[in-house]
Amino acid sequence: MSLIAVSVIVVLYAVTGVLALTTGRMIVPWQRGYVLRPRLWGAGALVFVAGIVLLRFAAAVIGATAFDSLSTCGLVLMLSGAVLQFLGQRVGRVRC
């Protein structure tokens, strides 16, 4: 059940990243006013999703060395994607 739920969320997040990257517009309505650079945000979303997929793959790998290296790479990808998404947003923007 968990694998199906994570897969659905990852696919939906990847679709929003691809649409933001290709069209240059935010498709998610609650982020439209906050994202200044949607292409950068979309690239960050795709890198973040790649990190999640790599972490899920690392969980299925047998062997301590492979698990350690794959999970480290997955966490670095997730952190890089989060930084790219943060850089794509407007600084100091608050909801009214």
Integer angstrom CA distances of residue 2 from 5, 56, 78: 5, 11, 19
Does residue 35 sit within a domain?
yes
The predicted-structure confidence for 5-14, as pLDDT tens digits, reads as follows 888 999 999 9
How far is Cα 24 from Cα 57, in angstroms, rounded to an integer? 30
Kindly provide the b/e burial profile for residues 39-64, where b requires at least 16 CB atoms within 10 angstroms of the residue's own CB: ebbbbbbbbbbbbbbbbeebeeeeee
Does residue 96 sit within a domain?
no
Split at pLDDT 50, 70, 90, the class of 95 is low
Percent residues over pLDDT 70 in the chain: 94
Q: How many domains does the chain have?
A: 1
**C-beta separation of 47 from 77 below 8 A:** yes
- What pTM was estimated for this model as a whole? 0.85
Q: Residue 22's domain spans which residues?
A: 2-88
Integer angstrom CA distances of residue 17 from 1, 61, 64: 24, 27, 32
Does residue 19 sit within a domain?
yes
